[in-house]
Structure 1
């Protein structure tokens, strides 16, 4: 009952701030997203543990092994064109009120955890494994884990690699490639340097070369 009271109060607040028509359009999308969430719970009833979450159009959850598990907290919101895939004994945990924006990819074969209140911007890719390209006969995947704390902001186009640990309240700058330990309450960004390398000689340089040749 507490969940439904919270939903009702949220809708009333939206109508007051956004207006009736905009609120209806937005909540229509959320309603169908919740239905999709229920369908995924029914489809993977042995693999997904969740109460109420939203997954919008063209987003998918694919589970390829009976041992793989997904734990989704209340009010998780997954926007459009998100791909979530699990295999082997993968364990994916999305804490309460996690927000995942459009076009994100999460690939889990061992362990990925995203803490409550964390927000993932568009086009983010999270992997807890690498391909073991050096091995011919052995295991073809190098498995690790990704732990993202609570209230973390991950910017657009970020790639998070295996064995990465991001502390609470950290901010990951857009376009970063992340691996290793990121302390809590810090801003992480890859150092960038703009370079402009000319691939075409200026006319003045070409004219000087002709003059040198003629004098010879």
Structure 2
């Protein structure tokens, strides 16, 4: 009981520090996170909706969790918006331009969502700066499976499922089942389709 109270108190302190260190942030009601969760936004815009949980503790999670949930906005003008009721489980979000995750979405452990390539392909210019980032827009009620990678310039429509281990880039309509490396649209899901409720790799 005392240990739980200590953890709760420590999380409250960390939330206060996050608000001080990340000045342009909005945290919704019932926003929660585990102690090891990492958030670094600086003066960039970070908005996290109500009832969002950033899980970093593998205890009770049904799969492995190789690293804590990390949200990094490290380029001036970057914007990240996470909608209400989202669950992010040991995923890495790196935003240099704009990242949107719609409400009621679930992101499994080991997922990387990165809106830039990290470096320029041409080695002669690599030391002169990074490549140009591009928006990532993830719709509402999207399920992204274990160890998937979402690359820059990607739009995923509402109610879509990304199968575990997929490498995703491009535009996909609502109700898409997305799978593979490179990822492809496998089919359009029906409301009664089992995959809508039990996507691969939670």
> What does residue 49 of structure 2 align with?
73
> Given the superposition, is the C-alpha separation of residues 101 and 29 from structure 1 closer, same or farther in structure 2, using an over 3 Å criterion?
farther
Which one of the candidate residues 108, 111, 120 is aligned to 2:95?
A: 108
The equivalent position to 1:189 in structure 2, one of 176, 179, 183, is 179
Report the TM-score when normalising by structure 1: 0.69
Q: TM-score, normalised by structure 2?
A: 0.73
Unmatched 5+ stretches in structure 2: 57-67, 183-202
Q: How does 1:1-216 map to 2 (within 5 A)?
A: 33=11, 36-44=14-22, 46-52=23-29, 53-64=31-42, 66=43, 68-80=44-56, 81-88=68-75, 89-102=77-90, 104-130=91-117, 131-134=119-122, 136=125, 139-190=129-180
Task: Quickly say closer, same or farther: Cα 1:167–1:32, change in 2 above 3 A.
Answer: farther
The structure whose residues are more often helix, as a share, is 1
Structure 1: gaps of 5 or more residues: 1-20, 193-216
Give, in angstroms, the shift of residue 82 of structure 1.
1.1
Tell me the number of residue pairs that the alignment of Structure 1 and Structure 2 aligns. 166
Q: Is the 2:168–2:181 contact (alpha carbons within 8 Å) kept by the matching residues of 1?
A: no
State the alpha-carbon separation in 2 of the partners of residues 147 and 125 from structure 1: 14
**Secondary structure, aligned partner of 1:156:** coil
Tell me how large the CA RMSD over aligned residues is.
2.6
The verdict on how the C-alpha distance between 1:191 and 1:60 changes in structure 2, with shifts beyond 3 A counting, is: closer
What is the CA-CA distance between 1:191 and the residue it aligns to? 6.4
Q: Which residue of 1 aligns with 2:59?
A: none
Structure with more relative contact order (C-alpha pairs < 8 Å, separation 6 or more): 2
Report the alpha carbon displacement of residue 139 of structure 1 after superposing the two structures with TM. 3.8
Give secondary structure in 2 for the equivalent of 1:129: coil
